[in-house]
Chain A
Amino acid sequence: MNPILFYLFSILMLGFGIAVVANRNPVASAMSLVVSFFCLAALYVGLDAYFLASIQVVVYAGAVMVLFLFIIMLLDLKAEQRRKFNKLAIGGGALVALAFAAQLVGVLGSHPRGDKPFPELKLPVGESLNDLQHVGETLFSLHTLPFQVIGVLILVATIGVIVISKRELK
């Protein structure tokens, strides 16, 4: 991937990530999240994971975001009133997050194995990477059982959502 594109999308993604946290208006937060996810999808493309990139767009930027927006609208959430800040809490939270980031930098800085460029893919001449086929093969050959379990999980989630929502309608 072109490093310039990487930096562009990374900065965009992190920037909109910060916007998610910083915006007062939930709708604006949600829209920022969408942008952030789009950038992430772009980063996936840069990592030759085209299938995941498309899934990312469809599931997150599409379905999940619609859900979020739908709920925000449904609950009719207004921009947060400027509440009294609990400075200690804010400071503490920021401190923990920063400490976490700093530790990360420290770990990565002392981790030479990761400080290498990505190896080239060996592809038959003239063909591009058919990652969808490979993901599918891996999924259905090696991870069939988890796949099935995920199916059940989604079913359970569906039923659960209905039950939770229904109860309130009584």
Chain B
Amino acid sequence: MTLTLNHYLLVSGLLFSIGFAGVLLRRNIIIIFMCLELMLNAANLSLVAFSRFNVGADGLPNFNAQVLTFFIITVAAAEVAVGLAIIVALYRARQTTHVEDITTLKF
């Protein structure tokens, strides 16, 4: 049996679902943050798969997608830094990392 694009997309989708389930189920904000990273990486995986799938006339993968992935990784790194800083600040203010305890958005 050969590998098709759908295999990769399925894996990517499952990883996304796992990440989304984590976001919905876990209460610890750091773990929620990790799950967000999982979701981002799932998207990256599908992008790379598409890159490999769409071989151009020159016989090479479509590197635009890889550049996009590169950007996503970069932004994700920055996001992690800012996000973790916010979490630290939040922890200092509230002494908790539990989202259930952080409900100031309520009216």
**In their complex, do chains A and B touch, with some C-beta pair under 8 Å?**
yes
B24 within 8 A of A: yes
Query: Contacts A3-B3, A17-B15 hold; do A97 and B21 have CB atoms under 8 A apart?
Result: yes
A77 touches B18 (CB 8 A): no
Classify chain A: how many residues form its interface, as a range: 35 or more
Task: Say yes or no: A131-B80 contact (C-beta < 8 A), given A43-B45, A117-B2.
Answer: no
A residues within 8 Å of B by Cβ?
A: 1, 3, 6, 10, 13-14, 17-18, 20-21, 26, 29-30, 33, 36-37, 40, 43-44, 47-49, 51-52, 55-56, 59-60, 63-64, 67-68, 71-72, 74-75, 77, 80, 83, 89-90, 92-94, 96-98, 100-101, 104-105, 108, 111, 114-123, 129, 131, 134-135, 137-139, 142-143, 146, 150, 153-154, 157-158, 160-161, 164-165, 167-168
Out of A111, A139, A157, name the residue touching B67 (CB < 8 Å).
A139
Set A30, A101, A121, A129: member contacting B13, Cβ < 8 A: A101
Residue pair A17, B19 in contact (C-beta under 8 Å): yes
Cβ contacts under 8 Å, A153 to chain B: 74-75, 78
Interface of B, helix, strand, loop or mixed by DSSP: helix
**What is the predominant secondary structure among interface residues of chain A facing chain B?**
helix
The answer for the CA separation of A100 and B25 in the assembled complex, in Å, is 15
Shortest Cβ distance from residue B48 to the other chain A in the assembled complex, whole angstroms: 5
| Most A-side CB within 10 Å, residue of B80, B82, B87 | B80
Interface size on B, residues (CB 8 A): 73
Shortest Cβ distance from B17 into A: residue? A101
CB-CB < 8 A to B4: which residues of A?
114-118
Instruction: Write out, one digit per residue, whether chain B residues 54-83 have a CB within 8 A of any chain A CB (1) or not (0).
Output: 010011110110110111011111111110
Min CB distance A49 to B, Å, is: 5
Q: Are B78 and A165 in contact (CB under 8 A)?
A: no
Bound together, the chains give a CA A98 to CA B92 distance in angstroms of: 36
| In contact, A72 and B27 (Cβ under 8 angstroms) | no
B24 adjacent to A96 (CB under 8 Å): yes
Question: Are the C-beta atoms of A33 and B34 separated by less than 8 Å?
Answer: yes
- Which residues from B are CB-within-8-Å of A10? 7, 11
